[in-house]
Amino acid sequence: MRTPTHPWPICAASLVAPATCGCAHAPAFDVMGSLFPAWLLCIALGILFAVAARWLLLRARINLVFPVLIYPCLAAIFTFAIWLIFF
């Protein structure tokens, strides 16, 4: 009679490779010989997209209840989305 093999060792081994592939290099851009971190670019683009969203909301005459809370959250959402899409 054959004993059933458990899939856990196979699953654990298959999860190790994708977990270590992100350690190849730091996401940075070479700007005139100086390395510029990619997260700064993502933050700047996230803030610009939040400003564009604010402009669109004002143009559509949509009033927000808590704009002090919503605009930083929009900037964070855009920043994280840019990071996930490109890096």
pLDDT tens-place string over residues 29-73: 777 777 788 888 899 999 999 999 999 999 999 988 888 999 999
- Cα R_g (the chain), whole angstroms: 22
**Which residue, chain included where needed, has tokens 């900037």?**
75
pTM (predicted TM-score):
0.66
* Whole-number pLDDT of residue 58: 92
Q: Which amino acid is at 50?
A: A
pLDDT at 54: 94
- Ramachandran angles phi, psi of 40, nearest 5°: -65, -40
Residue 30 forms beta bridges with which residues?
35
Give the mean pLDDT of 67-87. 92
Distance CA 87, CA 47 (A): 18
Residues 6+ apart with CB under 8 A from 35: 26, 28, 29
Cβ proximity of 86 and 46 under 8 Å: no
Question: For residue 22, is pLDDT > 90?
Answer: no
Q: What is the pLDDT of residue 47?
A: 96
Q: Where are the domains of the chain?
A: 26-86
Q: Report yes or no: 87 and 38 within 8 Å, Cβ to Cβ.
A: yes
